[in-house]
Structure 1
C-alpha cells in the first residue's frame, strides 16, 4: 500500500528534496501529496511546485489562534488523505490540534543527538560546546521541543579543524541519508 504523506518545511527544503527524490526512485513507498510551509517565499515552495506537489502556505500571524492556524492545516491534510506527516526543517512547534488529528503519525528530523541540543541552532550549540560527536535524530513529535520518542539516530564526528560550515555540511549529508531510510522503514511497518 502506498501511503500519502505531507512534508512540512520552512526554508530551503534540502531534506524535502531528498524525500521526493527517494519517492521517485521507489525507495519510499509513498506519494508526497502535500507540502506545507509557514514562510511565504521560502525556497522549498519552488521545489514543491517544480515537482508538481500541492503546496499550502500558511502564516501563523494570519490566524487569531494557534488552534485556528492548525485547523487549516489539518483540513488540508484531510482533503489530501494524508496518512503521515514528516517535518523537514519546519520551524514551528506543533500543538494539540494537529497532533491529536495525527497521533503517532508526525515525525521530525533534528540535527543533533537528542536529548542534547534541542531547539534552534542545534549544530551551532554542539559546535560551541566543543563536543567530539554530534549527529542526527529522527523522532516522533509531541508538544515539547524535540522531546518525542526517538526512532533513529546517526552519529557525526566533529573533526579537528572543523568549522561550523564543514560540520553542518556533514550533518546535512547524514540527514539526507537517514531520514529517507527511516521514512521508508516506518511506512513499511
Structure 2
C-alpha cells in the first residue's frame, strides 16, 4: 500500500529532493501529496512544482497567532489524508494543537546528535562548544523542541578547520541518506515506539557512523 506524505519546508528543499529521488528510484513506496511552505520563495516549492506535486505557500503574517496559522494549515494537510507529515527544513516552531493533530505520524530531521545542540544553528553551536563529533538525527516530533523519540542518527566528525558552512555541508550528506531511510521504515511499518525508544524491527544495530545501519541508502 502506497504511503501518503505531506512535506513542510521553508528552504531550498535538499531533503525533499532526496526523498523524491528515493521514491522515483522505487526505494520508498510513497507518494508526496503536498508540499507546503511558510516562505513564498522556498526552493522546495519550486522542486515540487517541477515534479507536478501540489505546492502551496501560506503567509503566516495573515494570521494573528501561530496557533491560528497551524490550525489552518492542519486542515489543509488533513484533506490529503497523510500517513506521515515530514518536516524538511521547516523553520517554524509548531503549536501544541498541530502536534496533537498528527501525533505519531510527524517526523523531523535535526542537524545534531540529539539531545545535544537543540534549536537553531545547531552546527554553529557544535563548533562554538568545541565538540569533536556531531551529526544528524531523525526523530518523531513532540511538544518539546528537537527532543522527540529518535529513529536514526548519523555521526559526523568535526575537523579543526571546519566552518559552519563546511560542517553543514557534510551533515547534509548524512541527512540525505538517513531521512529517506527513516521514511521507508515508517512506510514499511517497521517502527515500534516504546516511550522514548524507537525500535526498527529487523534493523542492524551497533555500527557507526550510522545507527541503526542503513539498508537502502
Which is richer in helix? 1
Check the 8 A contact 1:93/1:144 in 2, yes or no.
no
Measure how far apart 1:106 and its partner are: 0.3
Structure 1 stretches of 4+ moved >4 Å: none
Measure how far apart 1:149 and its partner are: 1.2
Partner of 1:94: 94
Check the 8 A contact 1:94/1:142 in 2, yes or no.
no
User: TM (normalized to structure 1)?
Assistant: 0.95
Give secondary structure in 1 for the equivalent of 2:117.
Answer: coil
Check the 8 A contact 2:45/2:55 in 1, yes or no.
yes
- Give the distance between the partners of 1:127 and 1:147, measured in 2 at CA: 20
Measure how far apart 1:98 and its partner are: 1.6
CA deviations over 1:117-154 (Å, ceiling 9, x no partner):
01110011101211111000011111221121111111
Indicate whether 1:163 and 2:163 are aligned: yes
Gaps of 5+ in 2: 190-217
Partner of 2:152: 152
Gaps of 5+ in 1: none
- Give the distance between the partners of 2:149 and 2:65, measured in 1 at CA: 27
Larger relative contact order (Cα-Cα within 8 Å, sequence gap ≥ 6): 1
| Residues paired across the two proteins, number | 189
Structural RMSD (CA): 1.2
